[in-house]
Amino acid sequence: MSSRENILQRIRNETSTIDSPERPPAPEVWPSTAPSTDELIERFTSELETVQGEVVRCTSLDDAQAKLGTLLDENDCGTIASIDRPACRELLASLPEDRVEWENADWVPKQLASIPAGLVDADNLLADTGSCMVSCENAQQRLLCYLPPICFVVARVDQLAEHLPAAWPSISPRVAESDRRGEFVIITGPSRTADIEKILILGVHGPKRLIVLLID
């Protein structure tokens, strides 16, 4: 046995009789305060509006369809690009087919940037920061969050969580899937920077407007 092996064996012998101390409980960094739904809505709206985001309350899917149509017309958005998911299909069902561009693998950044508005659906809403969590399975879905000048997010009130730890139980099983691809994008307001003379500019690195259609 070499000198190195002798030393290692002595260490193993000495430490084998030492009882492992019990680990202290993990600290609760973000404790839950069990807020009501109204409190979650109020907090989410306040936090998002603080960073120039917008929340449009909708009483139903029909109401959301009508309000989205009005917003598109008011902003001269002839077309809207969308993630192809059930919530988005339902929301855009009342629009003419020629006004909707559904996601496809042939999308390139230049093409997406030329479309005036994009639509994604939220997996979770984080009230403490006014953030939308969007699952993006491919590059096209991810770019859709950034390139169109107006980003619409459709979400339901029951997707609100107090903070990220509160949303984690619904997220962790999905990220543990062995065949899962992509990532979660966390969107908090429109793109903003103050790099130039400390003047706040919106829309430099992403959408100039973020509008969350929150359906009760």
Q: For residue 77, what are the CA distances in angstroms to 27, 113, 146?
A: 48, 13, 17
**Which DSSP symbol is given to 163?**
S
What is the residue-averaged pLDDT of the chain?
88
Those residues with Cβ within 8 angstroms of residue 115's Cβ, 6 or more apart along the chain or in another chain: 79, 80, 81, 101, 147, 148
Q: For residue 3, what are the CA distances in angstroms to 6, 8, 9, 24, 134?
A: 5, 9, 10, 38, 57
Checking if the pLDDT of 204 tops 90, the result is no
Whether the Cβ atoms of residue 43 and residue 127 lie closer than 8 Å to each other: yes
CATH class for the region spanning 48-215: alpha beta
Q: 109-152: per-residue pLDDT in tens? A: 888 889 999 999 999 999 999 999 999 999 899 999 989 999 99
Strands 183-187 and 131-136: antiparallel
Those residues with Cβ within 8 angstroms of residue 100's Cβ, 6 or more apart along the chain or in another chain: 79, 80, 81, 82, 92
Whether the Cβ atoms of residue 206 and residue 49 lie closer than 8 Å to each other: no
Whether the Cβ atoms of residue 128 and residue 47 lie closer than 8 Å to each other: yes
Confidence tier at 18 by pLDDT (50, 70, 90): low
Write down the pTM of the prediction.
Answer: 0.81
Confidence tier at 175 by pLDDT (50, 70, 90): confident
Checking if the pLDDT of 198 tops 70, the result is no
